[in-house]
Amino acid sequence: VTTVDGPGVTRVLRALHAAGSMSRSELGSTTGLNRSTVASLVNELVQAGIVEEGSGSSGTVGRPSLTVSAVPDSLAVIGWDLRVDSSTAVVEGFGGRILHRWRKEHRRGSTDPYEVAARVVTGSSQIAEELPDHVIVAGIGCAMPGVIDPGGDPPRSTIHRAPSLGWVDVPFGVILGEAMRERFGSHVPVILGNDAKLGAMAEWTRGAGRNSRAMVFISGDVGIGGGVIVEGELLTGASGYAGEIGHMRFDPDGPVCRCGARGCWETAIGINTIVRSAHLDPVTAGLVDVVRAASAGDGVAAQALAEAARAVGQGLASVVNLVNPDTVVLGGHLAELLGNYRHTIIEELRFTLSRDSTMVRLVEPELGPDSIVIGAAELAFDRALSTPARALAEAASLRSE
Ligand SMILES: [Zn+2]
């Protein structure tokens, strides 16, 4: 156990977590700390076993600089992506390496908050059993398909609205925190975040948005979520509702949305709508099945895909007018749609004010299906690294004794 703490330590840890490893001089220029401060902080962190030094080449001319590297299994967090029909988790180590993956499909319908919490507790316990003994977990981040108050104390967060789960004002942070404590007897903090916003953050820092000035991440699933990042700042709005582009009014005469309004964008491009339009069953079929049917000559499936692609482009035109992004990342089933119907989507972007669809880069997530779950892990890491001494004190193996 160490006493490492303070803003300087946090800056060094954040830089190393983002990069994995860097030379002492790069660490100095990234953190703005002087040479001797970096040296003494690095020494403390080496003693604590969180970082190690080696004589790697730093690539710069002159005196070879020691390479400082994060020790991935010295500190870990679990990120969860909780959806209506599946739960995915990753264990992310310090420095960004994924140490372990876990996934479970479950039938749709059971969205009781206590059942969802129990799923996370059981899963966390299974994950802990599969990890090496010495790995300690300093936090748990959960991505939820809902609006979460950004001003609330994170471990006690309440989910205001989660239409796909049917939740209104559910204090899920408290429910899950208590369930974790009951099972493991530890105080590992549980932090909730909106799934699309977390996906946006992960793509911004480790994926397709790394060189972007203004990026929109759109998560495709039963619901459609959005995360907007401009100059590194995530747009949350006054109370967390910013970026809820799935509920843009798309067709005033359209079907009623799960949010209660009529004709929201997600009623036109959500996965269930596309699968149903192709005359398939959303409980058993996904977008892949629709694409397969279409390429086998099923005209109804082909039309469902083409219509959805057009609707994606039409809604995107509004988003592009509003945000002027240089990058739009389409996740989930929208990534598959982009892969097959890019031309149709881009065609609709002619109807933006700039009239220049080449101004915006339409891409699939670089982190693949992991953007959201990695974003959830990063959320937990962000908190842990802000007060590393507390995080190390709270960290636990999460094994039931
Ligand atoms: Zn809606």
Residues with Cβ within 8 Å of residue 47, at least 6 apart in sequence: 2
53, β-bridge pairs: 68
Rounded to the nearest angstrom, the distance between the alpha carbon of 274 and the centre of ligand 1 is 16
Is the pLDDT at 341 greater than 50? The verdict is yes
- 164 vs 367, higher pLDDT: 367
Rounded to the nearest angstrom, the distance between the alpha carbon of 316 and the centre of ligand 1 is 16
Rounded to the nearest angstrom, the distance between the alpha carbon of 205 and the centre of ligand 1 is 29
pLDDT at position 353 is: 80
Rounded to the nearest angstrom, the distance between the alpha carbon of 310 and the centre of ligand 1 is 19
Rounded to the nearest angstrom, the distance between the alpha carbon of 364 and the centre of ligand 1 is 24
Is the pLDDT at 76 greater than 90? The verdict is yes
User: Both tokens of residue 212?
Assistant: 């972007």
d(CA 382, CA 14): 8
Q: What are the tens digits of pLDDT across the range 112-131? A: 999 999 999 999 999 999 99
Rounded to the nearest angstrom, the distance between the alpha carbon of 105 and the centre of ligand 1 is 25
Is the pLDDT at 371 greater than 70? The verdict is yes
d(CA 171, CA 156): 7
Rounded to the nearest angstrom, the distance between the alpha carbon of 246 and the centre of ligand 1 is 7
pLDDT at position 55 is: 75
pLDDT at position 185 is: 86
Q: What are the tens digits of pLDDT across the range 273-309? A: 999 999 999 988 999 999 999 999 999 999 999 999 9
Q: Write the DSSP string, 275-304.
A: HHHTT--TTT--HHHHHHHHHTT-HHHHHH
Is the pLDDT at 270 greater than 90? The verdict is yes
- 113 vs 399, higher pLDDT: 113
Average confidence (pLDDT) over 239-245 = 89
pLDDT at position 188 is: 87
Do 276 and 222 touch, CB atoms closer than 8 A? no
- This prediction's pTM: 0.90
Largest CA distance in the chain: 69
Rounded to the nearest angstrom, the distance between the alpha carbon of 248 and the centre of ligand 1 is 7
Q: What are the tens digits of pLDDT across the range 25-66? A: 999 999 999 999 999 999 999 999 999 998 765 555 566 668
Phi, psi of 208 (to 5 degrees): -70, -15
3-7, 317-321, 326-330, 358-362: lowest mean pLDDT where? 3-7
- 70 vs 355, higher pLDDT: 70
Q: What are the tens digits of pLDDT across the range 203-232? A: 999 999 999 999 999 999 889 999 999 999
Do 266 and 223 touch, CB atoms closer than 8 A? yes
Average confidence (pLDDT) over 317-326 = 94
pLDDT at position 1 is: 41
Rounded to the nearest angstrom, the distance between the alpha carbon of 187 and the centre of ligand 1 is 37
d(CA 208, CA 219): 14
Rounded to the nearest angstrom, the distance between the alpha carbon of 163 and the centre of ligand 1 is 8
d(CA 190, CA 396): 13
Rounded to the nearest angstrom, the distance between the alpha carbon of 260 and the centre of ligand 1 is 6
